[in-house]
Amino acid sequence: MKKIKTVGVVGAGTMGSALAQKFAQEGFNVILADRAMNFVEKGLSNIKTTLEDGVQKSVFTKEQVENALSKLTGTENLADLKACDLIVEAIYENFNAKTELLKSLSEIITDDCIVATNTSSYSVTELAKNISHPERFIGLHFFYHAAKNRLVEIIPGEKTSDKTFEAVKIFCVLAGKDAISCKDVYGFAVNRFFVPWLNESTRLLQEGIGTMEEIDIVCMKVFGIGMGPFALMNATGVPVAYHSEKTLEVFGKLYAVAELLKVQAESGRQWDINPEWNNPVDAEKEKIIRERMLGVVLFVCSQIFDEKVCTATDLNRGAKIGLRWRKGPVELMKSLGVVEVNRLVKFISELYEMKMPESVGEKFWQMHSVKLEKRNDIAIITMDQPENMNALSEETVHELSEKFHEADKNPLIKTIFITGSGKAFVAGADIKFFVKNIKSNKICDIESFTGFGQKVFKRIDHSQKTVVAIVNGLTLGGGLELALCADVILALPKAQFAFPETGIGIYPGLGGTQRSVKKIGKGLSKYLIHTGKMLSAKDAEEIGLADKVITADDAFEILSGNQPLPTISKKELNDKWKHIRDFFEENSIIEIQSRNFSNHSLTKDEGEKIAKTISYKAPIAIRLADQLIEEALGCESELNHLEEIFSTSDALLGLTSIGKKVEYAGK
């Protein structure tokens, strides 16, 4: 499979420069090209400014910025792109301009260079007719702001090869993007429902049903978003919405461009929204706006399912990651129920004289959060809900159980890999589940969930097959407990490990107090659990929590079966970790909390710093975690204190104050 190391980006405008920045940040060599050097220089200057602003805001380190800038070069000569493994076309949305560019590239680049279009409107298959070797051509539709927004739609054309598709999937992961796959139809998946949503808002304004401010306010409430449609069009460009909707008109009357949107786009002006407006919306008016805006989304999404454009999982993910909707369209459908969705879809169908979609119902709304792939004698289980940081919900743990059982019982499978998609391996359990059940006085449901999770993790731990965790990113709480069930833990350089539970009022309940001791010993387990400190991949390798740090390329080679597992050798702790281990092994938690400890090899300041960190944690959670570690009665012993810990006011305070500084009362 082709490995992508050097990426060309053609078009140094807002989108192109953002893509070049992101690719360089992720370690690719990047050539930014445009038709004249003044455009290129402006793009590079904007990238430099953005990165330097990031240093001021502590988003990047100075070293990271220097590394990224060193990966970037600019050119006005397309011939310089001959060195590229992948070229992303990111010029303005004009079909003729794109086709001319693709013809020019065909005369320059190597036959195996992958070419991708970032079009949001045009057919990938149609564009592919203008490039030699169309099997290496594909759609990669990135979303604004491309350096920050993780979503990308991967759109194979009719002639796109499987090799090209697989190569860009890997590229997207390495580029820090969360990809969804779509059929090559106008609007693909997300814009297919999002742009008509914008268009409908202008119809409501045009019809005098509501003001821009009223429509924005209602939409923010209904869809759980920070900006309404008019504010969003101002941010991304009114002409963009207009031109995108024009390409969708082929789908019927609903998609016809609103006259007011056309007028506004051609005027070159933004919508004149009053930022101070904060008046209540009349109830009847709110109902009409809600039903029209919601109905359009549900109608179009049902059409998408009719046409099998993408899966329900990908459609929902696209809205949550790409558009920042709190609930994706499929979640909205599930929460509304079949009867109400059917009513709203029928309402839009009749309003715009469109055929009623057939794909309305629970069977069309099935989503999955865990993926299983089998390749010869290996199975790959991917925690696959990046929009929720792969959090362990009830549904996710049940899916994990099913997928692991399927892999484990297969006699052909020798090795089972567990990894995650997106920024996280698993970022802990679903906090909302805990909060909901504490508030409704259903701690028994928390006990049932944790008990089932323990059984699943025990099966993984005791499997006769080799289980390998490839930890790709954030690995917190239940995620670290899952990784500890594996025989081998391999960490990518960006992986991070922590037990944050005592900082949010609870303790590890899926085996963390027991399996961590087996892996790294009592002293270091106490350090991790009592302080909640975040470990880098390098730190985790140094203490033996991770068996080895590997590159992303190594991970893909291992998962593809082209490379064996690395040799794991036991490492001696360095002095730093020995001192921390000894501090926790030779001082009780009470001695540390009361500052009545022996420093041993730590300096007094180091001991004080650890004690101070622990003083911010929930006292009951610390006591119970320490007790469980000391008693060493096995993973199931953690179930014995769940009612006690989740009944505390500290637990509710901590779980509802994630990311905030709190003072625990020990109650």
CA gap 26, 5 in Å, rounded: 11
State the Cα–Cα distance between residues 642 and 640, nearest whole angstrom.
6
What is the C-alpha to C-alpha distance for residues 637 and 640, in angstroms, rounded to an integer? 6
Q: At 418, is the secondary structure helix, strand, or coil?
A: strand
CA distances from 659 to 111, 645, 656 (A): 50, 20, 9
* Residues paired with 32 in a beta bridge: 9, 74
Q: Return the active site residues.
A: 481, 501
| Prior bond of 145 cis (ω within 30°) | yes
Contact status, residue 514 vs residue 628, Cβ threshold 8 Å: yes
Phi, psi values for residue 300, rounded to 5°: -65, -40
**Token representation of residue 333:** 């459908």
Task: Supply 47's token pair.
Answer: 């990238």
Please report which residue ranges of 224-337 form alpha helices under DSSP H: 229-236, 238-248, 259-267, 283-306, 312-317, 329-336
Query: 633 Cβ partners below 8 Å, 6+ apart?
Result: none
Task: Please report the DSSP string for 606-649 in residue order.
Answer: HHHHHHHHHHTS-HHHHHHHHHHHHH---GGGGGGGHHHHHTSH
Half-sphere exposure of 581 (CA within 13 A, CB side): 15
